Structure 1
Amino acid sequence: MVRSPVGASPAPRRARGRAGDSAATRQLIIDVAAREFGERGYAATSLSDIVAGTGMTKGALYWHFESKESVAVAVVHQMFETWPVLLRGVMDSHDDALDALVAATYVAGRQFATDPVTRASKRLMAELPPEALAKLPQPYVGWQHALTQLITQGQERGQINPGADPVGTAQVIVASFFGMQQVSQELSARRDLEGRLDSFWALVLPQLRPVSLS
């Protein structure tokens, strides 16, 4: 019988350790880049700024990213990957679809207020060159699709007014939210975003409640 060498088993663990270290390093670069891009903007941020923030060498950064543009694209991609997870968490934590619909906008608002990747991504999508934007998903459509599904489910459960058009309602909510967060950013650094959401839902909720509850 052929036996495995005594020292053979640790090798896979070491390989997994290296993979974990690599993922952690890549995430560190993204986190630092998000902070720099969010504060300085794309044009004013250099790879040297990002390298300095990570404390690593430029060669180490190039192991993960080939250019400043590729780092910026990775930052925005992370935002797009985060949104579905957040929305699913909101939907799973609310039995009532209308409550989930409202909660989703407040959760998104907190992301813009507190998450550097989200804030940087919003700025990068306005500042990246067209060839970089072409590498990214189309903005807003994922939100619209998710909210359309949520509204449809709510109507099927009797939780949302059946007369509301799911697609049109989702489009209005998404457009209103992103408009509000932009105005809030310009006027108060998003400090008043929650109040703006309160006003929005005070206006819209009566139209979405089931007729028996309106």
Structure 2
Amino acid sequence: MRERQRIRTRENILRIAAEEFDQRGYASVSLSEIAARLEMTKGTVYFHFPSKADLARAIVDTYFSAWEALLEGVANQGLRGMEALRWFSNRVAQAYRDDPGVRAPLRLMREADVIGVELPTPFLPWVQTVEFQVRQAQELGEVRDELDAQAVAWQIVAGFYGAQEISHQLTQRADLTDRIQQMWDLLLPGIQAP
């Protein structure tokens, strides 16, 4: 019973901290504010996370757990190549639109120099995943063989995150899934095999 309560408390801290970091950034958020929002003592927050930097690192770790779940979704559905990429990017767009727990880790990774702890480099898992699927798409005859799969992956990821940022700034991500579909509709003719 106590262990379940600890797990729930930790999850609540992570959820509220992610919302705060997503909205205001690392430097603007204090552990006291997180504790106040949770209606708990600062000591309770410190029990679970000895520092704000440790809390930020834990939030970033949740991002990679969510990433693994998405990859399993691709595998479980037997998706490959461009079909996998479109499905995957749509799910990620929905998560970025709807879940601060997915957005906050990316913001924290971009703010790593302020946090002062080692955090993973953002975007690399995306580029690797997309490159793998582009190579599969080349094997399936969906993407032109002569294209550099890593360069194509880099451009796809840059397009996705650019669309995500512009959608955030202009519509609070309300149109993000539509913008990602448009990205694919415009990009595919340039890379598709004849």
TM-score, with length taken from structure 2: 0.87
Q: Find out whether 1:140 has 2:109 as its counterpart.
A: no
Do the aligned residues in 2 keep the contact of 1:106 with 1:197 (CA within 8 Å)?
Answer: yes
- SS of the equivalent of 1:190 reads coil
Q: In the alignment, residue 176 of structure 2 is paired with which amino acid?
A: L
Q: What is the Cα-based RMSD across aligned positions, in Å?
A: 2.1
Divergent runs of 4+, >4 A: none
Cα distance per residue 1:176-214 (max 9 Å; x no partner) = 111111111111111222232232211211234332xxx
Gaps of 5+ in 1: 1-16
SS of 2:12's equivalent in the other structure is helix
Q: 2:139 aligns with which of 150, 156, 172?
A: 156
Q: Give the AA of the match of 1:76.
A: V
Name the amino acid aligned to 1:160. Answer: V
Q: Distance in 2 between matches of 1:156 and 1:19?
A: 49
Q: Name the residue aligned to 1:95.
A: 79
Mapping for residues 112-127 of structure 1, pairs under 5 Å? 112-127=96-111
Alignment gaps of 5+ in structure 2: none
Counterpart position of 1:44: 28
Q: Do the aligned partners of residues 145 and 127 (structure 1) sit closer, same or farther apart at CA in structure 2, a change above 3 Å counting?
A: closer
Measured in 1, the distance between the counterparts of 2:86 and 2:128 equals 16
The aligned residue for residue 94 of structure 2 is: 110
TM-score for both structures, normalised by structure 1: 0.80
Whole-angstrom CA distance in 2 between matches of 1:65 and 1:164: 46
| CA-CA distance at 1:80 after TM superposition | 2.5
